[in-house]
Amino acid sequence: MLYHPDRCVLAPVVSGVECSVSGSVSTIDGGSDYSAYDGEMLRFRASADKALGSWVLSGHYQLEDNHRRDLSTQQEFFSVSPIRNLVSAEVRHYVSGRFSLGGKADVRYSRYKDDQRFVSNGALVSERRTDNRLRGSLLAEYRLAGEWMMLAEWSMLDNRSTIERYDYSRREVMLGFETVF
């Protein structure tokens, strides 16, 4: 579901802003080896974009609510059902009609609905998991012939969790081609 109003709620504050809100309901079937992920995901997103000449500024908020089966063993329980809040900002510069460069950053807060139970150093621990994730990316896109586009992205990601085993940092490089069918 997508709603793109004729007049953005931010128009009295900043002229020329385009807004949209969207929502989705998804059913997930993880397959026989990943049945803990079976369930539903609800997603709501609000976006605002502002063009300034060859520059475009974008901001987004996304709320995601997961209702999954979760993973349970005799002793341990692992929730895969977080409620997530994501705030992101992006700036893009259109160097030409075919080539753009940009950057984006987001912060995501995830709170899992149930306490996790797991064995740590021989003891059974019960703890609620919350994660804070920061991500920054540099982007480049080049339009080829027709509907084809070449893209490149370099990202840095840092996740901090109340449960140490879920702490991680990573760097990613993505190169790809995209088209419309």
Query: Model confidence over 106-157: pLDDT tens digits?
Result: 999 999 999 999 998 889 999 999 999 999 999 999 999 888 999 999 999 9
- With bands split at pLDDT 50, 70 and 90, how would you rate the model's confidence at 174? very high
**Mean pLDDT of the 65-88 span:** 94
8 A C-beta contact, residue 79 and residue 97: no
Short-list 174, 140, 144, CA closest to 156: 174
pLDDT at 11 over 80: no
**Whole-number Å distance between alpha carbons of 135 and 131:** 13
**Whole-number Å distance between alpha carbons of 164 and 143:** 43
**Mean pLDDT of the 51-78 span:** 94
Global pTM reads 0.88
What are the φ/ψ torsions at residue 141 (nearest 5 degrees)?
Answer: -135, 140
pLDDT at 82 over 90: yes
Average pLDDT, the chain: 94
- With bands split at pLDDT 50, 70 and 90, how would you rate the model's confidence at 168? very high
Sequence-ordered strand ranges (E) for 99-181: 99-112, 116-120, 123-127, 130-143, 149-161, 168-178
- With bands split at pLDDT 50, 70 and 90, how would you rate the model's confidence at 59? very high
pLDDT at 9 over 80: no
Give whole-number Cα distances, 59 to 56, 87, 104, 156, in Å: 10, 8, 10, 19
